[in-house]
A and B are shown apart, each in its own frame.
Chain A
Amino acid sequence: SQQGEEDPQALSIQEGENATMNCSYKTSINNLQWYRQNSGRGLVHLILIRSNEREKHSGRLRVTLDTSKKSSSLLITASRAADTASYFCATADFGNEKLTFGTGTRLTIIP
């Protein structure tokens, strides 16, 4: 798989349910970030987790990082219609200045 691949590619759930998205990567990373993109708009930063952290929370978001498996998950609890968007993970490697984005998960919340 390529650096930063999310699964599933698309996810539809009922409002109020929890949504889980996964990301896998290949390199040794400095940190991993999650971004949201509403249709046709820019990327909005959600949360950053560093390589020495295992779990992080921000409001209804929970991110985990397993560096041994080179994977991360994003959990959105109690989903709302406004959460409908594409979600991307992005990895930052040591020693360079770029983020490598994944393929994204398109999340649809059904009211």
Chain B
Amino acid sequence: EPEVTQTPSHQVTQMGQEVILRCVPISNHLYFYWYRQILGQKVEFLVSFYNNEISEKSEIFDDQFSVERPDGSNFTLKIRSTKLEDSAMYFCASSPSGGTNEKLFFGSGTQLSVL
């Protein structure tokens, strides 16, 4: 079965550094998402992306965050200047054509640790 792949699986960075988390959604999917899960807490929505633009974002997704689909296959999340509270598991997800009218396919996540 097709999978959403995320790299790296673990990322350690110093506070204030920029990180880029990478995702390859399933090839014929049209909707892309980033979610995060701080240890022991709920999975939280960050941003949705459709037709090469952000369709919705949460309050968490401030100016420090950006997303990009640079080449038609990759979908990246950039955190410009990381903070300690950005430490979390970041999940990429995609869905075929109906957004949240359909199920989402999640990747295995990138565990980001900000020191």
Chain A residues packing against B (C-beta within 8 Å)? 4, 30-31, 33, 35, 41-45, 48, 88, 90, 92, 96-104
Contacts and interface: CB of A to CB of B under 8 A. Distances in A.
A88 B104 contact: no
A98 B108 CA distance: 19
B106 A101 contact: no
A99 B56 CA distance: 11
Nearest to A2: B42
Given A43-B43, A88-B43, A102-B42, A97 B106 contact: no
Contacts of A100: 45
A79 B10 CA distance: 32
B109 A41 contact: yes
Contact of B56 (A48, A98, A103): A98
B31 interface: yes
Contact of A42 (B50, B99, B107): B107
A90 B44 CA distance: 11
Interface of B: 4, 31, 33, 35, 42-45, 48, 50, 55-56, 58, 91, 93, 99-109
Nearest to A91: B100
Contact of B100 (A44, A97, A102): A97
Contacts of B58: 98
Given A42-B106, A97-B48, A101-B42, A30 B91 contact: no
Nearest to B41: A103
Interface centre among A45, A97, A100, A104 (most CB of B within 10 A): A97
A4 B42 CA distance: 10
Nearest to A102: B42
Given A41-B108, A98-B100, 5 more contacts: A42-B4, A43-B93, A43-B106, A45-B104, A48-B102
A98 B103 CA distance: 12
Contacts of A42: 4, 91, 106-109
A31 B108 contact: no
Nearest to B3: A42
